[in-house]
Structures are given as C-alpha cells and as structure tokens.
Structure 1
Amino acid sequence: MKRAATTTASPLPYEGSRHQTLSAYIQARFDEFSRSQKDVAQYIVDHLDEAAFQTAEELARRANTSSSTVVRFSQALGFEGFPELQGAAREEYRRAHAAPVPGAGSGAPAAPLFSLDQSEFETALAADHVNVEETARKSSRSDVEAAIDLIASSPRVLIAGTDQMAFFASYMRHLLALLDLRAEIVASPSQEALGRLSRIDDETLVIGLSAGRPHPLVVRAMKLARHRKARTVAITDATLSEVAKLAQIRLYYSSNSPAFVRSHTALLSMIQALAYGVYSRDAAQYADRIKAFRLK
C-alpha cells in the first residue's frame, strides 16, 4: 500500500531508533513505498556510501528517478528532507567503517590503493577494487556452492539478461559452453527468446541477471520458472530486487561507481568465479573438453 509522504512532527526514525540502522529501517518498511520510492530505497540500502555523500540530484539519477521522489522518500521516512536522511546515512557509513581491518594489526586501517589526490581514472579503479572486495565479503559460501552444484548438474541452463546484462548473459553462456554445458540466453523479447521461455521445465536452471530495477522480461522468466518448478538463481546488485525475491539462490554483487554508469567489474568476477567453480569439480575432464573445443 502506498503511503503518503508527510512532513509532520513524527520522530526521526534514526534518532528515535538508535538500535536500528537506517538501512534496516528502510528494509523493514520497504513494502509500504511506491514503486519509484522503492527504487530509491533499494539504491540507498545497497549503495550507502554513495547515498551518504551524493546530492539528491545525483542519487536520483543513479536510482533512475527524480530528485523530487528522493525528497518525498526522505519525508515518508519521517525526515524533513534529504539532508536529514543523508546525515543518518553518513552516521551509519562511518560506524560501519570505524571497525579495524582484520589482520591489519593494532586496529590500523588498510593502506589506500591510491594517494588522496586521485585522478578520475584512479578513482574509478579504486571503486572497482572495493566492489570486488565487498562482493567477496558478502558472498555466502553455501549459496555459492549451491549455485555451482545447480549449474554443473542441470540438464539445461537458461540465462536471462537484457540491455547491459545481455553481454554478461552471453559471456556466461560462452564460459559454460567451454565446459560442454548446455546453456541458452534470453536477451530480448524476440520470438526465439520467448520460445526458449516456453520450454522451461522442472529440469531447467534459470539464472536471472539484473542491475537496479530488473527488466520485465527477466522478472517474467523468473516467475515462469517458479510456476513450472524450475531451479532459479538471481545475480543482482540490489538485495531488494524483485528478481532476488523470486529466486531460490541469491548472489549479490556491488556496483558502486563514481562514473556515469554502474560498475560491473564485480559481476564479471562473480560469473568467472562460478564457471571456475564448476571447472574445479572435475578439472581433468573439463580440461580435455576445453582443449577439444579450442581445436574445433
């Protein structure tokens, strides 16, 4: 149910709930928001560092919405406006990064990748470095192993990814083909792609790729897979994504970026790591297959 934005004197959630972080508060109330507000909520939860230090206009652009929606979302949470919400985001971010780095000794922070006077090029590389590290830290070993088991054992794999995700769907299919695994992609609402969706059954593994708000075609594939009792894996940069909610196994990657587009470095690393996980199950056998594939 859509909840009307308000600026009445309700207590600030972060101030009134010191035991609860801003991210946790947003997740608890997620179902109350409108569709556009959910885009903002999703982005803040998964990209807290950007929300903490960007303007409302920059945040709106990255969340594919308007700055007025960002303001209304802030008010729906009980804040007077975006600056107050940003203050809560900064406090949560600073608390999360106040802990010492494991293995650094004496609580010393890790050395920065570049000097403080970073160029734009170095800033983008540093963000990608952090994305890969954050993705690795947040990955559940049990979920990863379960995903690898499904990929290795499924008679048919269908990878759904449109627009910018189409490239990664195609690359994942290529890696699985090197291992002689049958994989197909759905990258557009073409007749051929819809035909592949129609063949989903209980022996199919459907892998949905998404960045931000998922494409309706990917959501459709996941819903159809659930209806036909197929196995499902979501690989997404949004923990509150509809694709993630529909999947049995959820793998999250970080896509923070100072640039004008999301970073997909961690996504590429995850896809390659999953393929290597399958390869390592029977390295000798797969090595022969790859050799034969290259000789064709």
Structure 2
Amino acid sequence: MKRTSTQTIAPPHEAHGHQSLSDYVQSRFDEFSRSQKDVAQYIVDHLDEVAFQTAEELARRANTSSSTVVRFSQALGFEGFPELQHAAREEYRRRHENGGGRGTTVEPLFSLDRSAFETAVAADHANVEETARKASRSEIDATIDAIAGADRVLIAGTDQMAFFASYMRHLLMLLDLRAEIVASPSQEALSRLGRIDDRTLVVGLSAGRPHPLVVRALKLARHRKARTVAITDATLSEVAKLAQIRLYYSSDSPAYVRSHTALLSVIQGLAYGVYARDAEQYADRIKAFRLK
C-alpha cells in the first residue's frame, strides 16, 4: 500500500507572516462586520480568557452569538473556533514562557480552592496590575495636562459608565475645575454638547462597544477642534480611534459583568495627578471638604 505524505499547513496568521494571532486580528480589523469586530476586540484585549473559554462563553462576553464566533474564526481562515483557540493558547503559552515581561515569581493572592468572592477579587487585583503595566506615562501626563489646562471638561459616559462619569466630575469639581457630564440623550445633555469649543476637553468613557452618544460627542469634539481623551477597555474601540489621547484599562472578570475596578483606579489617579501639579493651590479647598 502506497503511503501518502502529509503536509503541515501553517495557521492563517503565520502563513500571512504575522508573529501572533493578536497582530493578525488587528491587521484585518476593518474587514469585519460590526458583530465580528466585537469578537476581535475581545480576543485582542482578553487573550488569556479566550485561550480557555468555550465559543459560547466568548460569545456572551463579547455580546454576540456563538455562530458569530464560529463565522469569525472561519473569516480568519481557521476551520472553526477550536483551531482559533489553539492559536490563542500558543500565543498565551509563548507570552508566559517569556515571563510576561515580569521576571519575578509572585505568590498567588488566594489558594487554588478559592471561593467565588475570592476569584472576583483576584480578577480585580490582576486588572489593576495589568492596567498599570500597560499604561503609557506620556499618555497619562498628556491627559493630566489637558484636564488642568481646559476651560471646561465634558465627560461622556452612558449606562454603567454614567456612574464613573459622575464620579470623575465630582473629583474634578473638588479641585474647582469646571466639569460637566453627558450621560443620556436629554435636551440638557445635548445642549452641553452644543457648547463644545476648542477650549473644551471631551473625555469619552466606554466598555466594550461604545454607546452612540459617546461616539457622537467625540466626533463633534474633533469637528470643533476640541481636545479628546478616550478611557476604554477595548483598544480597537471606535472611541479610541476618534480620540487624540487613549487610556486603556483591563476589565477581565469571572462574573456576569465586566470589572471596572481598574477604571476607577485610572480616574482617581488622573484626579490626583492634577492635584499634585500644584498641591498648595488646592490644599485649602481639599481641607475644607475633609472637614465636612
């Protein structure tokens, strides 16, 4: 019986000369449909989760269907999701073999048999650390300068982001900075958008797919030559593309909602950065607040 030789076929991303699955996904991002872009964003920003999730779990976290995940895998050139997941695992393995850029071994926060509560807290701990490691000092400094130098700071954030927009406004107003929020398409909020000018700083907050109102705020800001900042958990998000300054936070979570612990840390860090620029100027005002 004649033996046929088998030929090993390189995965699509390697066949196209890309070093990793993440690079390949990013290079083809503009080709995808809107729902496929949600999957692409999640893979790029949460590779460690994708490497071990089912297609159904990935679909839930990317706010889409499992059939979209399968079609997305095929659009990349894989036979199906298992082959894409294998590529994700290989990239994940290579990252950890290189030490993840850390070079030291850290003792686990909890034991292996940790409870659901401990698992959630451990994820938040990892998110803050991941956010800090990926933070660009130049982007952070540029954001602080923009906040301190703006005549008005307009913070756009809807739904779950509305809380964080309100909290950021609160922190800035403690420093006697003029800050306003756009959290819904109300007449009052739309009038605030109408007052955007080149002395306004527009900050867009988003998690996953951005709300159309936040996208509208950043587009209007660009049209009127206002400074723009995006704070998002999706590096390929539309708000990130529209903004001049981009800050990323990690939101991985074992729970049924995204984790926003790192987002809160970023907002508080920015406010403290503004305060630290001239602590003496703000000292009396902050002291009066603490005495309330």
TM-score (norm 1): 0.92
- Runs (4+) off by over 2 Å: 14-19, 99-104, 291-296
CA distance in 2, matches of 1:124, 1:135: 17
Residue type at the aligned position of 2:79: E
Alpha-carbon separation, structure 1, partners of 2:17 and 2:97: 17
2:51 partner SS: helix
1:166 to 162, 165, 171: 162
Q: Distance in 2 between matches of 1:70 and 1:223?
A: 30
**Alignment equivalent of 1:180, drawn from 176, 179, 182:** 176
Q: Is the 8 A contact 2:14 2:20 kept in 1?
A: no
Offset, 1:153: 1.1
Could you tell me which amino acid in structure 1 is paired with residue 238 of structure 2? Answer: E
Task: Give the superposition deviation at 1:94.
Answer: 1.4
Q: How does 1:75-94 map to 2 (within 5 A)?
A: 75-94=74-93
Q: Distance in 2 between matches of 1:257 and 1:117?
A: 17
Residues 139-178 of structure 1 deviation map (CA, whole Å, 9 limit, x = unaligned): 0000000000010111100000000000000000000011
The partner residue of 1:251 within 228, 247, 253 is 247
Matched, 1:286 2:282: yes
Counterpart in the other structure of 2:11? 12
Query: Contact (CA 8 Å) 2:78, 2:84: kept in 1 or not?
Result: yes
Alignment of 1:188-203 (within 5 A): 188-203=184-199
Kept after mapping to 1: 8 A contact 2:156/2:181: yes
Alignment match, 1:69: 68
Aligned length: 283
Q: Please state whether the residue corresponding to 2:106 is helix, strand or coil.
A: coil
- Answer yes or no: is 1:136 the counterpart of 2:132: yes
Which of residues 138, 145, 155 in structure 1 aligns to 2:141? 145
Deviation at 1:14, TM superposition (A): 3.6
Q: Secondary structure at the match of 2:129?
A: helix
Q: Deviation at 1:16?
A: 2.5
Deviation at 1:294, TM superposition (A): 5.1
Deviation of the 1:99 alpha carbon: 2.3
When residues 282 and 98 of structure 1 are mapped into structure 2, their CA distance, relative to the original with a 3 A threshold, is same
Measure, in 1, the Cα distance between the counterparts of 2:111 and 2:37.
36
Whichever residue aligns with residue 40 of structure 1, its letter is V
Report the identity percentage. Answer: 83
Q: Partners in 1 of 2:237 and 2:175 — Cα distance?
A: 30
Q: 1:211 Cα shift?
A: 0.2
Q: Kindly tell me: are residues 189 and 120 of structure 1, through their superposed partners in 2, closer, same or farther at Cα, counting changes over 3 Å?
A: same
Equivalent-residue separation in structure 1 for 2:208 and 2:102 (angstroms): 31
For residue 271 of structure 2, the aligned residue among 265, 271, 275 is 275
Task: Name the CA distance, whole Å, in 2 between partners of 1:73 and 1:267.
Answer: 29
Shift of 1:293: 4.2
The one-letter code sitting in structure 1 at the alignment partner of 2:77 is: G
Cα RMSD of the aligned pairs, angstroms, is: 1.5
Mapped pair 1:111 → 2:110: no
The Cα shift of 1:103 comes to 5.6
Q: Residues 293 and 111 of structure 1: is their aligned pair in 2 closer, same or farther, counting only changes over 3 Å?
A: closer
